[in-house]
Amino acid sequence: MTRDIHQQLAASLRRARADRHSATYPLDDGDAIVIRSSRPGDRSALERLAALDSQALPAATSFLLAEIDGELAAAMPLNREDEPLSDPFRPTANLRELLRLRASRIRADQGTPTPGRRRARLTLRSAV
């Protein structure tokens, strides 16, 4: 299990380096990053973030949110394999990668297969 986490983290860091939002967010000592599930009251902030990112807000019922000092900076739908929404005026590669990692763990814990896991199962079944 620990080896899988290390492999996921290494792959995530490689993706973050290639990400178009590749600059890191310079955190001050007082900055607080919070990763949390969305609530009904977050809808307007999600719509604002989607508009900033020039995307339509996905029809997801649940999002994983990344906040910096209480301000929404990135969001990822939990029930879809979409790219995270993010504030284009802020370097968000690290936040986007944190959201991807956390969402993949939540999906794994819920037994929701990710596309890569689904392909692996199909490959194993076809080999038998």
Separation CA 80–CA 34 (nearest Å): 21
Q: Considering only residues 127 and 71, tell me which one the structure prediction assigns the higher pLDDT.
A: 71
Taking each continuous run of H as one helix and of E as one strand, the counts in the chain are: 4, 4
pTM score, two decimals? 0.65
Q: What is the CA radius of gyration of the chain?
A: 16
116 versus 51: the higher-pLDDT residue is 51
CA distance linking residue 128 with residue 25, whole number of Å: 47
**pLDDT value for 29:** 59
pLDDT in tens, 9-21: 666 655 654 454 4
39-82 pLDDT, tens digit per residue, is: 999 999 999 999 999 999 988 778 999 998 889 999 999 887 78
Nearest to 65 by CA among 88, 34, 87: 34
